[in-house]
Amino acid sequence: MDPEGSCVQDDPDIKVMMAGSTLRKVKSRSWKKQRHFRLLEDGMTIWYKSRWAGKGHSTFSVTEVEAVREGHQSEVLLSIAEEFPADLCFTLVFHGRQGNLDLVADSPEEAQAWIQGVRKLIHKVQTMDEKERLDQWVWDWFQKADKNKDGKMNFKEVRKLLKMMNVDMNEDHALHLFTMADKSESGSLEIEQFVHFYKILTQRDEVWKVFQDYSGDGEKLMLEELENFLMMGQQEGERSAQLAQELIDSYEPSESAQEQGAMSLDGFQKYLCSQEGSIFKPEQRDLHQDMSQPLSHYFISSSHNTYLLEDQLRGQSSLEAYIQALKRGCRCVEVDCWDGSDGEPIVYHGHTLTSKILFKDVISTVKEYAFKASDFPVILSLENHCGVEQQTIMAEHLSQILGDMLLTTVLDGQVPQQLPSPQELKGKILLKAKKIGGLEDCIDETLTDEVSDEEEANGDAESPSAEDPPAESLTENDKVKPRVKSKSKLSKELSDLVLYCKSVHFHGFEQARLHGKCYEMSSFSESKAKRLAKEAGTDFVQYNTRQLSRIYPSGLRTDSSNYNPQDMWNVGCQIVALNFQTAGLEMDLSDGLFRQNGGCGYVLKPDFMRDGNTQFSPEKPEERPDYKPLRLSIQVISGQQLPKVNQKEGSIVDPLVRVEIYGVPQDQAKEETSHINNNGFNPVWNETLNFILHTPELTLVRFVVEDYDKASRNDFIGQFTLPFTCIQAGYRHIHLLSKDGTPIPPSSIFVNISISELT
């Protein structure tokens, strides 16, 4: 059985890849080494090794590759452009945070074969359905375990393979299944027989039980039985009748069942494992929210110090970091600008050893990638440390490179009373920076307010700020007066480009209520924002209905760690900037919130956070006029094919599931199941976890699977986070993501969710 089908193998580009090529792998100007690359027989795995190194080799799967860039499309290849022409060069870009692979071929023809070949394989991966994916997964494992490459596996090899697949199965049971699958009684399984063995192995008793509950004859679900399941089991309501027929048409593999208008167990399991059977409401994944409200009415996906790929002190500044953030739907990126030695402004983390990149290159990169993931506006948050001359050069670069993309005039020629909407600003880039005067009067050129945004934190308890050197290197004198004198003047050219995002000092909510303009926005360090949220929650919520606020991580987070963004969203802060390069809980929450609405980077706030007279306070949710608490009950039934955490031979996970609730302070909660010993393959928990939600509209639910360890911290296996408002009730699969936020098929957990009003 070859899941690739022969058509791909006959393709001339794929033939070149299978024959193999010597390509140069390039890491820097000085590190360029020849490696032998080839596509293995499975048509999915790319294998490479150095010519003289003994046995060592590396492999990766085409499923890990997101795109192929042609020519000098990475910083590394640009740096060697003189040496190797563009038609020999290409870059493989991986999903998640894995670094690029830059390659140089010996001839343009060979480069083209690899570029087109990998693209065809990526397309094939993207168009596979769940069943083909699973077959591919099984096929991959078979290839890995068939050590002598004879296309057969004896019982010993199968046992070993099960261990690799995280299955700890009692020997008798495994042997019994093996014998059933070994129809030719040869003592070994060929690939088709192995797939059959695997199917018997993965029969899902818990799915079968649900099927039995609704099926009259235990063999199939007739149309009205399926309708009943959708109504009662899945809480689909009115649409159950229409949906039943659609599901049979989409998922029932047996034609005879389809003709009877019935669904078999196979079709039922296929539906439950599909996107429609997943926990996320399909209609909320797509762009569905009203995008015509003022910008201040949305949560906006935002990145901090976007140019960094690693930590804040020595890390590399890179254009790739902008590409990664923008491709993830980030809509507010940060650019730290300093005077460059040759008159060209540079971008890096000031007063540190992080490497430097050119401002104009950052702007070109933003232009190219700004609207790949979303059409809605991108805000360039400028941390400006340049003198007037180089500010004017920045203004020229912005205007020349971005052209029409850059918003340079107010929308209807009027001074706005409220901010424009994402809809009106589609395809536009907005500049956030200091401005001389207001939109009303662009006249006076000098500005005495000299401090850059994040330096305000110097007066804050958690000095140093994100933009400053460590406190011990500051003299008392420095702390009081701004260090960079040339900052006291703003270039009129740069100032004129600032329209709806004018950076101002925050002088209290009262001042903002009386005199604040909708286009004025302030930045708050995480500790200041947290303090204001606790002390004046309602004021903060009201302020955020009309003006934008930007929150940034404490300057002490030199390791690029993140703070919990939920505390800031609870009071309606829109631009909650996180270190996108750092995987973990906080980015899971951000990815979870912005997974809805087409991943466009804008999520409409709940209505009680958009009304200027709102009295909502996250500290007192029960005082809201339309307060309706809900009960969320999650029966964690089973897990499927969880990945191994520890690659040591013979180690198998002891999984547990934890459900974490993030929302207003009263809603924060965690509950977990017990752990199951030695079973990552099909653990069954059947445990119910209960939660009460006081403000469900602001709640995020995070499902985490961990490998239990009594001696040390549990190891992370996978997670999935989503807004409570996007959860589908009923029997659902949760398709797990890696620490990096990328899918790890076919790992999932199977749950039954019920949501009811708290009476």
Helix, strand and coil content of the chain, in percent to the nearest 5, comes to 35, 25, 40
Predicted TM-score (pTM) of the model is: 0.85
Instruction: Find the angle CA(152)-CA(181)-CA(220) to the nearest 5 degrees.
Output: 135
Looking up tokens 């993501």, which residue turns up? Answer: 737
Residues recorded for the chain: 759
- Whether the bond into 621 is cis, omega within 30 of 0: no
Please state, in angstroms and rounded to a whole number, the distance separating the CA atoms of residues 759 and 757.
6
What is the radius of gyration, based on Cα positions, of the chain? 28
Instruction: Find the angle CA(735)-CA(738)-CA(743) to the nearest 5 degrees.
Output: 45
Query: Please, how many CA atoms are within 13 Å of residue 256, restricted to the half-sphere of its CB?
Result: 2
CB within 8 Å of 342: residues ≥ 6 apart: none
What is the structure's pLDDT at 468? 37
What is the structure's pLDDT at 453? 52
Which residue from 477, 445, 575 is spatially nearest to 523, judged by alpha carbons? 575
What is the structure's pLDDT at 450? 44
Q: Is 670 annotated to bind ligand?
A: no
Q: Is 654 annotated to bind ligand?
A: yes
Q: Is 678 annotated to bind ligand?
A: yes
Q: Is 266 annotated to bind ligand?
A: no
- What's the average pLDDT block by block, 10 residues per block, for the chain (759 residues)? 55 95 94 93 86 73 93 94 96 92 97 97 84 75 76 84 73 80 87 81 88 93 97 95 96 90 93 94 96 98 93 86 95 97 93 90 97 98 96 98 96 89 98 91 44 46 37 35 50 96 97 96 97 96 98 93 97 97 96 98 97 95 94 97 77 93 98 94 95 98 95 94 98 96 91 94
CB within 8 Å of 564: residues ≥ 6 apart: 585, 586, 589, 662
What is the structure's pLDDT at 53? 57
The CA-to-CA distance between both ends of the chain, in Å, stands at 57
State the angle between helix axes of 191-201 and 130-145 in degrees (0 to 180), rounded to the nearest 10.
120
What is the structure's pLDDT at 51? 66
Find the catalytic residue in 349, 675, 694, 735: 349
Find the catalytic residue in 57, 72, 173, 304: 304
Please state, in angstroms and rounded to a whole number, the distance separating the CA atoms of residues 474 and 552.
21
Question: Concatenated DSSP letters for 651-714?
Answer: ----EEEEEEEESSGGG-EEEEPPP-TT-SSS-EEEEEEEEEES-GGG-EEEEEEEE--SSSPP
What is the structure's pLDDT at 314? 80
Whether the Cβ atoms of residue 374 and residue 333 lie closer than 8 Å to each other: no
505 is catalytic: no
Please state, in angstroms and rounded to a whole number, the distance separating the CA atoms of residues 548 and 570.
14
349 is catalytic: yes
Token pair recorded at residue 407: 């918003």
Please state, in angstroms and rounded to a whole number, the distance separating the CA atoms of residues 654 and 717.
10
Which residue from 685, 631, 678 is spatially nearest to 658, judged by alpha carbons? 685
Which residue from 407, 357, 350 is spatially nearest to 384, judged by alpha carbons? 350
Q: Is 652 annotated to bind ligand?
A: yes
| Structure letter (DSSP) for residue 403 | G
Whether the Cβ atoms of residue 610 and residue 299 lie closer than 8 Å to each other: no
CB within 8 Å of 661: residues ≥ 6 apart: 632, 667, 668, 669, 670, 691, 693, 699, 700, 701, 702
Q: Is 336 annotated to bind ligand?
A: yes
Whether the Cβ atoms of residue 601 and residue 372 lie closer than 8 Å to each other: no
